[in-house]
Amino acid sequence: MRLDVNSFLGSYPFRRVPGTSPDALLRAMDRVAVDEAWVSHLPGIFWRDPAAGNPWLYETALRHERLHPVPAVHPGLAGWEQVLSEAKAAGAPALRCDPTFYGIDPVGSEIQSLSRACGAAGMPLVLAVRLEDARQRHPNDRASELPPSAVRTLIRSDPALRLVVTHAERAFVEEVHFGSTPEESGRIWWDICWIWGPPEDHLETLLRTIGSERFVFGTGQPLRLPETSVAKLDLLDLGAEQRAAIESGNASAVTPTLSEAKRSGRSSKQSSAPSLMSG
Amino acid sequence: VATVRNLPNVFVDLSGSGVDGGMLEACLESVGPDRLVWGCDLTIDTGWAKLRYLQHLLGRTELELVSWRNAARIFPPAAFPAD
């Protein structure tokens, strides 16, 4: 079982990217043996109201059993609490918020309110440090990268909050992890897509010093080639149990409710379909 | 790569940390498999990933061009141990 917690659907506003349709994503998943994926609506990240892309995302995920929606929420807009409720009702594995892309303070009162609400609802929050390498971004793509201090501040904002941070490199991970208490760092999971694999020792070192239980498989596709995340695991000398944990097991700890629903044979998608469509 | 599209004596290597979706398609569209050479720089994981992806974009003959035949053609004789 291989689960990609970091993938997108829909066009990217700053350059031509192939493979953005649901069918194309599924073909890419087959190509690299990814069984299931958490998917977000890529263009919505750049919309004034990112949640406007959620209905399409929900409907798409309902049609494709392997795709799990990670809807977006802007905590500075009216109705964000409803977005969280809809995500919960839909059985979404997580909710995403990209404050720097939305133009809001990444540690401001709005996102801290969202953090507390996510903690109370048991809804993990996904944050992307970046989407593309700063060297190649479009001149008008000027959103700041998420700073490590913001992750530390948010994880402290609510004792029940769980964060999944994507597109973070080694230095970012270390700054947050070693600047947090053990209890805090135990509620953060890191996707591996932006961490160097062999022969650089970044991922190997992090797995040893921080612990492999903190890392989840992610690709950033289709903005990035998904082959990269698979290759870096192939190049590491990982035991089968450790690799399985990174590729899917650790994600189950992020979303224990969803995992339990699957184990018991209940389909969160089917049971929540009416509420999805009413949103 | 668009800059070197019409420069037949310029080859493009695929090394580097970038693994952007669409990057390899753009290279192939611009210079074709006859003028691409594989390289990995220090980031072998990205180089290997690009080679894996090329396996899905190219047929066997074209893949051989990119992965070694082009390099064997443009580097001096005996540049590689297998020469």
- SS3 state of residue B36: strand
Q: Which of A17, A199, A224 lies at the smallest CB-CB distance from B19?
A: A224
Give residue for tokens 């190997």: A204
d(CA A50, CA A67): 19
Please give the full DSSP string across chain A, using - where no structure is assigned: --EEEEEEES--TTS--S--SHHHHHHHHHHTT--EEEEEETGGGGSSSGGGGHHHHHHHHHH-TTEEE--B--TTSTTHHHHHHHHHHHT-S-EE--HHHHTS-TTSHHHHHHHHHHHHHT--EEEES-SS-GGG--TT--PPPPPHHHHHHHHHH-TT--EEEES--HHHHHHHHTTS-HHHHTTEEEESTTS--TTS-HHHHHIIIIIGGGEE----BTTB-THHHHHHHHHS---HHHHHIIIIIHHHHH-HHHHHHHHTT--HHHHHHHHHHH-
pLDDT, residue A258, reads 61
By Cβ distance, the residue of A133, A221, A231 closest to B21 is A221
pLDDT score for B83: 64
> Is the CB of residue A170 less than 8 Å away from at least one CB of chain B?
no
Residue B2 near chain A (CB below 8 Å) = no
Q: Nearest C-alpha of chain A: how many angstroms from B56?
A: 8
> Average pLDDT in the B63-70 region?
95
CB contact under 8 A, A16 and B18: no
CA atoms lying within 13 Å on the CB side of residue A260: 5
Q: Say yes or no: A46 contacts chain B, CB-CB below 8 A.
A: no
Asked if residue A275 lies in contact with residue A82, where contact means CB atoms within 8 angstroms, the answer is no
For residue A227, give the nearest of B18, B25, B53 by CB distance.
Answer: B53
Chain B CB contacts of A17 below 8 Å:
20-22
CB distance A85 to A117 below 8 Å: no
Taking an 8 Å cut-off on Cβ atoms, the answer to whether A221 and B42 are in contact is: no
Residue with tokens 């890529």: A42
Decide: A224 and B24 in contact? Cβ < 8 Å: no
* B contact residues 8-47, partner A, Cβ 8 Å cutoff: 17-22, 24-25, 42-46
Contact: A231, B42; criterion CB under 8 Å: no
* pLDDT tens per residue, range B4-58: 999 999 999 999 888 999 999 999 999 999 999 998 887 788 999 999 999 999 9
B79 pLDDT tier (thresholds 50, 70, 90):
confident
Interchain contact, B56 vs A31, CB within 8 Å: yes
Rounded-to-integer distance, Cα B68 and Cα B39, Å: 10
Residues of B in contact with A199 (CB under 8 A): 42, 44
In sequence order, what are the residues at sequence separation of 6 or more whose Cβ sits closer than 8 angstroms to the Cβ of residue A160? A119, A120, A122
- Across the interface, which of A31, A133, A230 has its CB nearest the CB of B18? A133
Q: Give how far B9 is from chain A: nearest CA, Å.
A: 26
Amino acid at site A47:
W
Contact A221 B17 (CB under 8 A): no
CA–CA min distance A20, chain B (Å): 10
Strand ranges of the sheet holding A95-96, from the earlier edge strand across to the other edge: A95-96, A125-128, A163-166, A188-191, A215-216
Distance between B76 CA and the closest CA of chain A, angstroms: 28
- pLDDT (tens, 9 = 90+) of chain A, 279 residues, equals 999 999 999 999 999 999 999 999 999 999 999 999 999 999 999 999 999 999 999 999 999 999 999 999 999 999 999 999 999 999 999 999 999 999 999 999 999 999 999 999 999 999 999 999 999 899 999 999 999 999 999 999 999 999 999 999 999 999 999 999 999 999 999 999 999 999 889 999 999 999 999 999 999 999 999 999 999 999 999 999 999 999 999 999 898 766 555 444 444 454 443 333 332
Complex-level ipTM: 0.91
